Amino acid sequence: MKRTLFSLIALFAFGLLSAQEEPSTSGFKSGDVFASGTVSFSSQKNGDAKINQFAVAPAVGYFVSDNMAIGIALGYTSRDYKPSDEKYTSLQAGIFGRYYFNPANKFTIYGQLNAAYVTSKREQNFGSGITEYKENGFAVAAGPGFNYWLSNHLALEANFGVIGYSSTKPDDSSANPESTNTFNIGLDLANINFGLVYKF
């Protein structure tokens, strides 16, 4: 955790120094199209208990002006629990808007607002058969991020949520008609999303 925080601070400080340089041919401008995304895999083991998780989140954006970009994003998460054979999957589809404060520089800082439809399914094996629990809902989040350009077309990206709200409801409302509403605010450095950006 400390190493991640130190690396983030070092990269941010280096980026601020680089931002003072003259704009290069990297960076963004009106009319640019970009694709970004993150892919992750994690495995956690405690005795016989094991959790494997895979997640992928692609996105495509378009600059409607020099500072403003809009786009669409998808997200898929799969989680397996052993030895209980419990499985969890989640799918998100949504839109986002970004405002870049210095889009033409090598180190670009932005603020992002996104909204998404979310559907999830949990499968549990109780011995007598597999029981499924499905939920549907939406999520809204806002937070900062930055890009650091490695070349004219390829950049590193990091973003994290500071404010978020989600509301989910069971698919079988007859069993549990109540929605689960969650609001969070704060910076969780353990949930920074690192990815790549390609500018066409």
The pLDDT value given to residue 188: 62
CA distance linking residue 104 with residue 30, whole number of Å: 10
Pairing of strands 49-63, 163-170: unpaired
**Cα 31 from Cα 63, distance rounded (Å):** 5
Quote the pLDDT of residue 41.
Answer: 87
Calpha distance 96→61 (Å, rounded): 8
pLDDT per position in the chain (200 positions), as tens?
A: 444 444 444 444 444 444 444 445 578 889 999 999 888 888 888 888 888 999 999 999 999 999 999 999 999 999 988 887 789 999 999 999 999 998 888 899 999 999 999 999 888 876 666 778 888 999 999 999 999 999 989 999 988 778 889 888 887 655 566 788 888 887 665 567 888 999 99
Instruction: Please tell me the predicted confidence (pLDDT) of residue 40.
Output: 86
Angle (nearest 5°) at CA 109 between 105 and 112: 135
Which pLDDT belongs to residue 21?
Answer: 46
Which domains does the chain show, CATH number per domain? 2-199 (2.40.160.20)
pLDDT at 22: 43
Q: Strands (DSSP E) along 22-174, which ranges?
A: 33-46, 49-63, 68-82, 86-100, 107-125, 130-149, 154-159, 163-170
Reported pTM: 0.74
Comparing CA positions, the residue from 135, 194, 125 lying closest to residue 160 is 194
Given this model, what pLDDT does residue 34 score?
Answer: 95
- The H or E element spanning position 195 is strand 193-199
